[in-house]
Amino acid sequence: MSHASYMREALLEAQLAAEKGEVPIGAVVVAEGNIVGRGHDLRESLCDASAHAEILAMREAAKLMGDWRLNHATLYVTIEPCAMCAGAIVQFRVRRLVYGAPNAKSGSVDTILDIVHQPKFNHRVEVISGVMEDECREIMQKFFRELRNK
């Protein structure tokens, strides 16, 4: 499957979040061509500020794979990760991060900070950005537009 194929899976997760009234961010973890973790934002539902799509997907992948080190995995996420998630990506030792749209308010991979490439960390992450950027941006914009109109 291509990067776009996996990003479509992350967008399906984002849609699940939107249907629950959560910020529509979705993520999937892929290892050896298989999706081994899925997640979408559940902060409101779980009353948990750490229940971001990325963290939930990485937790599921680590549990399924029996190892917290995801150094052979790629994380696909619809929006550039925040500082918490970027730090978790480093801690989980994710090999590659692929994200859709930049995050102007809290992006911590390319936009505001660059946590995943810090030379003093013992792990750095390969990053590919802009995969299905328009679709990833649109689901967020639509969600917040509808929220403001309520």
- pLDDT tens, residue by residue, 75-131: 999 999 999 999 999 999 999 999 999 999 999 999 999 999 999 999 999 999 999
DSSP bridge partners of 74? 30, 96
Residue 84: per-residue pLDDT: 98
- pLDDT tens, residue by residue, 4-28: 999 999 999 999 999 999 999 999 9
Asked if residues 6 and 33 have their Cβ atoms less than 8 Å apart, the reply is no
Residue 143: per-residue pLDDT: 93
Neighbours of 128 (CB within 10 A): 12
Asked if residues 136 and 101 have their Cβ atoms less than 8 Å apart, the reply is yes
* 147 pLDDT above the threshold of 90: no
Asked if residues 125 and 97 have their Cβ atoms less than 8 Å apart, the reply is yes
9 is catalytic: no
* 1 pLDDT above the threshold of 90: no
- pLDDT tens, residue by residue, 26-79: 999 999 999 999 999 999 999 999 999 999 999 999 999 999 999 999 999 999
What distance in Å separates the CA atoms of residue 42 and residue 59, rounded to the nearest whole number? 14
Half-sphere exposure of 68 (CA within 13 A, CB side): 6
What distance in Å separates the CA atoms of residue 85 and residue 89, rounded to the nearest whole number? 6
Q: Which of 13, 54, 60, 80 is catalytic?
A: 54
- pLDDT tens, residue by residue, 108-118: 999 999 999 99
Q: In 76-132, which residue ranges form alpha helices assigned H by DSSP? A: 83-91
What distance in Å separates the CA atoms of residue 107 and residue 72, rounded to the nearest whole number? 24
